[in-house]
Amino acid sequence: MQTGLTAEEKEQKEQRVFDEAMRRVKESYWRDLRFAGHQVNVQVVPSGRPPHPYGQDYQAVKKILGKSARQLSLQHPDILQLKQNAQHMDRRIGTTIFVKCSSCPHCIQNPIKTSPELMSTLRSFPSPSPSPSHPGHFTTYKESLQIPVNPCQHLPLYISKGFGRCAEDKYNYLFTSKAE
């Protein structure tokens, strides 16, 4: 509410207010936060700083994916890693699922460390589908488990444009543009 501040000064003051608010929430509301019987370690990322997921790794991936197919093909380590990832990826609208398989050398050397039931659920994770009982809404997670649908089946926008889902043996990818 102060007048006469530069844009930079105003932004710095807002960041301090947000930081103090998050500190207070952490200390008062989330002090004894537990999930599934375990203490949750709450971390507050200060305002104005990029969060950890968008650090150097993000920039490296953005740089690689911003290259043309020809440039990528010339970089053998990068393209091989991308192909490896694509074999374990199921890309849908709003969701990208990475799941270990049981046949490639990497997954054989690094076996699944979680329950087979969880991996089975992840491999068959349902896609959004219109609700038959509530027009204009989508099914709930529980309902979608009971009504199996093909991933990305209900995408009239992309289907009308001639895009869609590539579901080969190794690649499950939803194409939403000509570039992809």
Q: Are 37 and 108 contained in the same domain?
A: no
Q: How many CB atoms lie within 10 A of CB 174?
A: 22
Residues 95 and 153 in one domain: yes
SS3 assignment, position 95: strand
Shared-domain flag, residues 80 and 93: no
Answer yes or no: do 92 and 180 share one domain.
yes
Domain extent at residue 75: 56-87
**Total structural domains within the chain:** 3
60: left (phi over 0), alpha (psi -120 to 50) or beta: alpha
DSSP string, 97-111: EE---SSSHHHHHS-
CA dihedral 125, 127, 133, 137 (to 10 degrees): 130
**Quick one: pLDDT at residue 81?**
72
**pLDDT value, residue 134:** 85
pLDDT given for residue 21 in this prediction: 93
Q: Along the 180 residues of the chain, how does pLDDT read in single tens digits?
A: 677 888 888 888 989 999 999 999 999 988 888 887 888 888 888 888 766 556 666 777 777 777 776 777 776 566 777 777 777 777 777 677 777 777 778 778 877 777 777 777 766 777 777 888 888 888 887 887 777 666 666 676 677 777 777 655 555 777 777 777
Q: What pLDDT does 137 receive?
A: 86
Residues 93 and 143 in one domain: yes
Q: How far lies 155's CA from each of 27, 86, 116, 161, 165, in Å?
A: 44, 22, 31, 10, 10
Q: Is 67 in the same domain as 108?
A: no
Clarify whether residues 96 and 177 are in a common domain.
yes
**pTM of the full predicted structure?**
0.41
Residues 128, 79 share a domain: no
pLDDT at residue 94, rounded to an integer? 67
User: Residue 82 in contact with residue 75, Cβ under 8 Å?
Assistant: no
| Amino acid 25: pLDDT | 92
Nearest to 131 by CA among 120, 148, 144: 144
> Do 177 and 153 share a structural domain?
yes
pLDDT at 24: 93
Could you tell me if 98 and 82 lie in one domain? no
Q: What is the sign of the dihedral through the CA atoms of 9, 15, 21 and 23? A: negative
